[in-house]
């Protein structure tokens, strides 16, 4: 049983990657599954987080939200869970934008080099019409991840309003 539990994150990672590739959105994965610690509250949090990542890739945003919220009950300091919870909330509609922003901010507070949080917070700012703040996130993102920065710049400039947005397409469904 311990061996099966130890293999679970690897299996989830492979499944998530396969789903993402099959869907053509490999670059849209917000955060990859994390390695699960041996035991404790952090281990429980990471297992729930990894389950949420698989659901996020499957575009089951409400279910993913529940997993990320449960993960944060076990470890409020898991920045990746805040980032992906923010994404899951945002993908469920504009009525979640304030809560989404709060979780992006917390993710960045906990892990200032989490590039995905700047990317998707910048997209959120753009959706809210706040291009000035989106450009601030773009400037920070340029220091962290040039590919994500290029994606965010296209979103801010409006060049990604059509097909083929490098994993950013779903943000414009609402």
Q: Please report, for the chain, the start and end positions of each structural domain, with discontinuous segments joined by +.
A: 2-172
Q: Contact, 8 vs 43, CB < 8 A? A: no
- State the pTM of this model: 0.76
Measured over the CA atoms of residue 67, residue 55, residue 172 and residue 174, the dihedral's sign is negative
**Sequential DSSP letters for 8-21:** HHHHHHHHHHHHHH
- pLDDT on residue 24: 33
CATH no., domain 2-172: 1.25.40.10
Residue 52's Cβ-count burial label (10 Å; 0-12, 13-18, 19+) is: buried
Map tokens 């917000």 to a residue: 30
- pLDDT on residue 126: 96
**Sequential DSSP letters for 45-68:** HHHHHHHHHHHHHTT-HHHHHHHH
- pLDDT tens by residue, the chain, 174 residues: 454 454 444 433 333 333 333 333 333 445 676 666 677 778 899 999 999 999 999 999 999 999 999 999 999 999 999 999 999 999 999 999 999 999 999 999 999 999 999 999 999 999 999 999 999 999 999 999 999 999 999 999 985 554 334 334 344 443
33: region left, alpha or beta (phi > 0 left; psi from -120 to 50 alpha): beta
- pLDDT on residue 161: 55
Q: Contact, 49 vs 34, CB < 8 A? A: yes
- Please tell me the distance from the alpha carbon of residue 41 to that of residue 108, in angstroms, as a whole number: 22
- Please tell me the distance from the alpha carbon of residue 5 to that of residue 19, in angstroms, as a whole number: 21
- Please tell me the distance from the alpha carbon of residue 58 to that of residue 56, in angstroms, as a whole number: 5
């Amino acid at each position: 049983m311990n061996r099966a539990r130890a293999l679970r994150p690897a299996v989830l990672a492979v499944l998530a990657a396969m789903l993402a590739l099959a869907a053509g959105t490999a670059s849209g994965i917000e955060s990859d599954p994390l390695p699960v610690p041996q035991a404790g509250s952090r281990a429980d949090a990471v297992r729930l987080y990894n389950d949420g990542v698989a659901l996020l890739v499957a575009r089951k945003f409400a279910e993913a939200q529940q997993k990320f919220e449960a993960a944060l009950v076990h470890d409020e300091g898991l920045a990746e869970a805040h980032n992906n919870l923010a994404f899951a909330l945002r993908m469920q509609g504009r009525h979640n934008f304030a809560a989404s922003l709060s979780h992006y901010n917390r993710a960045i507070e906990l892990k200032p080099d989490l590039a995905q949080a700047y990317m998707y917070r910048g997209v959120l700012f753009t959706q809210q019409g706040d291009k000035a703040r989106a450009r601030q996130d773009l400037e920070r993102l340029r220091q962290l991840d040039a590919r994500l920065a290029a994606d965010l710049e296209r979103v801010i400039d409006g060049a990604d309003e059509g097909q083929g947005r490098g994993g950013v397409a779903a943000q414009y469904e609402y």
